[in-house]
Amino acid sequence: MSSSPLASVLFVCVHNAGRSQMAAGFLHHLAGDRIEVRSAGSAPGDRVNPAAVEAMREIGIDITAAKPKILTTEAVQASDYVITMGCGDACPVFPGKKYLDWTLEDPAGKGVEAVRPIRDEIRTRIEALITEIDAVAHGT
């Protein structure tokens, strides 16, 4: 079996502090090294949203080491899938990439109770994404 990933996914939100970090955490947790994971923000925050960290910790996924990163053209070019979450037109578009826009509530300023349903919606979308990537990689 090849050691190279099936695909590379970049998650983008404005602050790279909530939605994109939870999505990256889920994808890494559920797919392991089979899929390369990146996340970035068009205007990154100072730190990952503590409510997002807590919501993920509750289900056994640790994103405490994650740091918000600036969105770069290189990160987009290096990715097969670019999934935006409310960053509008800030994300550069390149031919040959698959772009998905996930409309998800912004967890900024919300407590963990309000972040849980966002987290659960992200998990559902990540599971579907993994199924799609596996199908494409195996030609089905």
Question: Under 8 Å CB-to-CB from 32, ≥6 apart: which residues?
Answer: none
Active site residue 13: yes
Closest CA to 129 of 2, 1, 4, 7: 7
* Plot region of 27 (φ>0 → left; ψ -120 to 50 → alpha; else → beta): alpha
Q: Where are the beta strands (DSSP E) in 42-97?
A: 81-84
Question: Which of the residues 13, 71, 122, 130 is marked catalytic?
Answer: 13
Question: Which of the residues 23, 82, 87, 122 is marked catalytic?
Answer: 87
Which residues is 83 bridged to in the sheet? Answer: 11, 100
Active site residue 138: no
Question: Which of the residues 91, 112, 118, 133 is marked catalytic?
Answer: 91
Active site (catalytic) residues: 13, 87, 91
